[in-house]
Amino acid sequence: MARNASARRTGGPGWRRLWSDERSRGLIYQLLVVLGLALVAAFIVSNTIANLQRVGLASGFGFLSEQAFFDINQRLIEYSSTSTFGRALVVGMLNTVLVSALGIVAATAIGFFAGVLRLSPNFLLSRMVGAWVEITRNVPLLLQIIFWWVVLSGLPKVRDSLALGDAVFLNNRGVRLPAPLFESGFEWVAAALAAGIAAAVFVARWARRRQKLSGQNFPVAWTGLALIAGLPALVYWIAGSPVAWDIPEPTRFNFRGGFNVTPELVALWIALSTYTGAFISEIVRAGILSVGKGQTEAAGSLGLRPGPAMWLVVIPQALRVIIPPLTSQYLNLTKNSSLAIAIGYQDLVSIGGTILNQSGQALEVVGIWMAVYLSLSLLTSLFMNWYNKRIALVER
Amino acid sequence: MKSVLKTAVAGAAALLVAGAAHAATLDDVKKAGVLKCGINTGLPGFAYTDDKGKWTGFDVAYCRALSAAVFGDPDKVKYVNLTGKNRFPALAAGEIDVLSRNTTWTFKRDVDLGFTFIGVSYYDGQGFIGRKALGVKSAKELDGASVCIQTGTTTELNLADFFRVNKIKYEPVPIETNEEARKAYLAERCDVYTTDASGLAATKTTFENPDAHMVFPDIISKEPLGPLVRQGDDRWADIARWTLNVLINAEEYGVTSANVEKLAAKETDNPEINRMLGTEGSLGAWLGLRKTWAVDVLKAEGNYGEIFERYLGTKTPLGLQRGLNALYTDGGILYAPPMR
């Protein structure tokens, strides 16, 4: 009231009309909020610039082309200590992408499996899965990552490695696997693989169309497997096995040759996929329960057994409910992978932190961190939104 | 509404002004009534908690000496534990007033990162520790080994250089803190652990069976460790620098925590001592401190030699020799400029 009175006193009739109109008053409020936000932003920017100048720090992204002079133990692309900071960041980003992609695949499989099991009529089974879900999703992820890392560091010491046929070695420094060395002729195998995949997709489409028209089933899974695995295998044999294997050999300290999957990667992967898997299982359960009981019963009365009824009738309908929250879980998993730093997995944050420390370019590195995680998240969202649209209920 | 807007603008303007004006560090510290000193997260000898849970050690002693110089009381310190990685952002952002965390003085840090090193409190070099059972005599035999290393340190860079120059391969196992590195090394996640030789000696004391491990003879780098402050506040840098110099000069002149009160009571026949302890000249006033600032510094933990022997010396579990860190008069390279 008082405010109205003061407006009446200070403003002319035009101002008063503007103020008493609900719509224009709303506009004024919004303008003021925007103005306030702009002032705060301007303050933050000017303060930052002033502080940077005060301590005499150069800003800009020129440091990315300086040499890094530190080493990274897991690199998916060529990298040495004489490479640049920029390349080190790319190595870190790829490590983040690797563990996120592995985690998303495993978490989805675990989540669907556990979600379906939880609804099993078998009392013991559903309760055991229930207990696992509650424990896994209610213990902080950081603790789980450290837990798995400690478990893996309890593996045999390197000199007592568990050996599998003198080619695979397991110890507390990871799994040492033979590495394939591709020789000439391998390109034919790769081409056969591509052809196999294309043929399998074609067969799947053809089978679906045929089923719609005639109702007849076709063993798509087996044919697909034969095409994707069989065709390259055949070409591999014809081309005279164009792959040599680099078998790891024990040396004084470690193994030479092959490639090593570090315990840090495995610990992070297990922790991320079980933690997120537990959440996904609840989403799957909710999705399945959202499909009316009548659907299952109708499928049963059409003669479908419980398995096909679940995968062909219930799950496709449940997916509409499952996909949006599932997308959030994928995004969470990617961002949670930054906890890698706790166990020394060299992801984007870990390597970025080292660069920040060696170069002193804090703002730039933090900016890069944010940009990369934002891009990864937006890409995931884009893909999932596209998928969501594809499976949306088409009403006829 | 107008008045609300006016307040908002005035508030924002006030914030801008507050952000732009910077008081000197000495005034800030005095106003806060406490010195914020950045130290290690835990390194025996240098920064560790005693049986009463109080932070103590070689690096901590410097914080206490500086607090005594500013306040006349060594206990007005707030310790901020920092890892190798977050120490520089903490100092740059003003979360701490001084960093006393076994930090190597390098060109880049001094020039490009916007800090000022105020001197060297410990001359160190990087070494390796490994199990005797490995049968390794020198770090050059470490081809193919897994090496535990603290990230964000100069040791990480030296390590890469060392293996590159000697054309041998290794697997770096990056670790955040000394404690984690110790655990990873004991679990044999890595064959050797590398850090400053003093840090290796410190870490070795915490092993269950120290005799099964050896520090290799190779020292692969120069690591002059010392306190540092933000660049641009010369007065504060001077106070920090001359506090360290007092500790070193006092050892040279034979001023100890035991005799400092007596020597400061009246003029002695050594003018250097007189100027330092304030019975002659006005050194304290030039720094903007009390006349007896150096007396308080020395009363805190004694002179450099006393501090070294108490936390690192041969009578401690670390058992470090003075070596390079002896006074220049005793065959070392410790040499502080004169107090005049």
Residue B171: list chain A partners with CB under 8 A: 73, 173, 254, 260
Where does the pLDDT of residue A254 fall: very low under 50, low under 70, confident under 90, or very high at 90 and above?
confident
Contacts of A46 in chain B (CB under 8 A): 16, 19
Per-residue pLDDT of chain B in tens (340 residues, 90 and over written 9): 444 444 444 444 444 444 333 458 999 999 999 999 999 999 899 999 999 999 999 999 999 999 999 999 999 999 999 988 889 989 988 999 999 999 999 998 999 888 999 999 999 999 999 999 998 988 999 998 999 998 878 889 999 999 999 999 999 999 888 888 898 999 999 999 999 998 898 889 889 999 999 999 889 999 999 999 999 899 999 999 999 999 999 999 999 999 999 999 989 999 999 999 999 989 999 999 999 999 999 999 999 999 999 999 999 988 899 999 999 999 999 999 999 8
pLDDT given for residue A3 in this prediction: 52
Is residue B188 less than 8 Å (CB to CB) from chain A?
yes
Interval A261-304: pLDDT, tens: 999 999 999 999 999 999 999 999 999 999 988 999 999 999 99
Total-model pTM? 0.81
For the segment A304-315, the average pLDDT, to the nearest whole number, is 88
Query: Chain B contacts of A342, Cβ < 8 Å?
Result: 176
Confidence of residue A39 (pLDDT cuts 50, 70, 90): very high
Position A227 pLDDT exceeds 80: yes
Per-residue confidence at A211, pLDDT binned at 50, 70, 90? confident
List, for residues A151-165, the tens digit of each pLDDT value: 998 899 888 888 888
A36 contact B CB<8A = yes
Which residue in the set B142, B151, B161 is minimally distant from A69, CB to CB?
B161
pLDDT band at A11 (very low <50, low <70, confident <90, very high): low
pLDDT over 70 percentage in chain A: 95
Q: Can you tell me the distance from the alpha carbon of B173 to that of B163, in angstroms, rounded to the nearest whole number?
A: 14
Lowest mean pLDDT among A5-9, A339-343, B86-90, B166-170: A5-9
* Per-residue pLDDT, B12: 45
Does ipTM exceed 0.85? no
Residue A57 has pLDDT above 80, yes or no: no
Q: Is the pLDDT of residue A179 over 70?
A: yes
- Say yes or no: A20 contacts chain B, CB-CB below 8 A: no
